[in-house]
Amino acid sequence: MTKYTTSIMLFALMFCLQSFGQAGNDTSRLLVNKWIMTALEMQGRKANLPPNDKSFFEFKPDGSGIISESGRLHSSVWEYDKISNRLNIDGEVYTISKINKTELVIFTADGKDKMVVYFKKAVAH
């Protein structure tokens, strides 16, 4: 291999690694929001939550958060691992299957059971 070819390969590798790291940082930035739970899916059956349900996750930049389960609030801690694409919320581990500026979908699998949780970004008032 020539020095020129080696240099190009090293540059390409560095670019790929930087892009991969950037994707993880983007996910972390997108997570820092208030996410309203819209639906749950278990055993292949998806159920939409009623519009007046007050369940949400709010992820703060410092790794703290607030969880509302049908209006009952409690503090939480969270951490995102960009290598495994896993989200740890109070010791429960979820995989992020979709995240963008308006939607978040996470799932957890415990043995044969799989639970998928759907969220939409809260609109600031």
Query: Three-state SS across the chain?
Result: CCHHHHHHHHHHHHHHHHHHHHHHHHHHHHHCCEEEEEEEEECCEEEECCCCCCCEEEECCCCEEEEEECCEEEEEEEEEECCCCEEEECCEEEEEEEECCCEEEEEEEECCEEEEEEEEECCCC
pLDDT in tens, 94-123: 999 999 999 999 998 776 788 999 999 998
Residue with the bigger pLDDT between 16 and 48: it is 48
pLDDT in tens, 57-97: 999 999 999 999 878 999 999 999 999 999 999 999 999 99
Domains in the chain: ranges and CATH = 3-121 (2.40.128.280)
pLDDT, position 60: 96
Residue with the bigger pLDDT between 112 and 35: it is 35
